Copies of this chain bind each other. A is one copy, B any other.
């Protein structure tokens, strides 16, 4: 039976300096592949703006209130943070949402046997 949840969804907006988007993308993909394996992380999607390829959005969906802090202690997050520091054209902005739909954890989770890359 599905359990209802209201997961924390964090959208992190990143504006990169011209010429750094490819390096930012690669660093963010490395981070996402590992972040998606964290027990507290339901999703960790990486999006690139179609109108402005220097703009990215990380869509982070957390299963527990403790999961965002746990994510920030991982080696892959710290490596990403240090790698992209020089690529940022402006400070990152985060926006926090409650996920209303889907209303179940399994609606947010990557399918158990899904290939992600």
Q: Hey, which bits of chain A sit against chain B, CB under 8 A?
A: 1-2, 8-9, 11, 25, 28-29, 32-33, 36, 44-51, 57, 59, 95-104, 106-107, 109-112, 114-117
Contact = CB atoms under 8 A, between A and B. Distances in A.
Q: How many copies does the complex hold?
A: 2
A49 B116 contact: no
Contact of A47 (B25, B98, B116): B98
Nearest to A57: B97
Contact of A46 (B51, B101, B111, B117): B101
A103 to B, nearest CB: 5
B115 A2 contact: yes
Given A107-B115, A111-B109, A112-B111, A100 B51 contact: no
Contacts of A51: 95-96
A48 to B, nearest CB: 5
Given A2-B115, A111-B112, A112-B111, A29 B100 contact: yes
Nearest to A107: B116
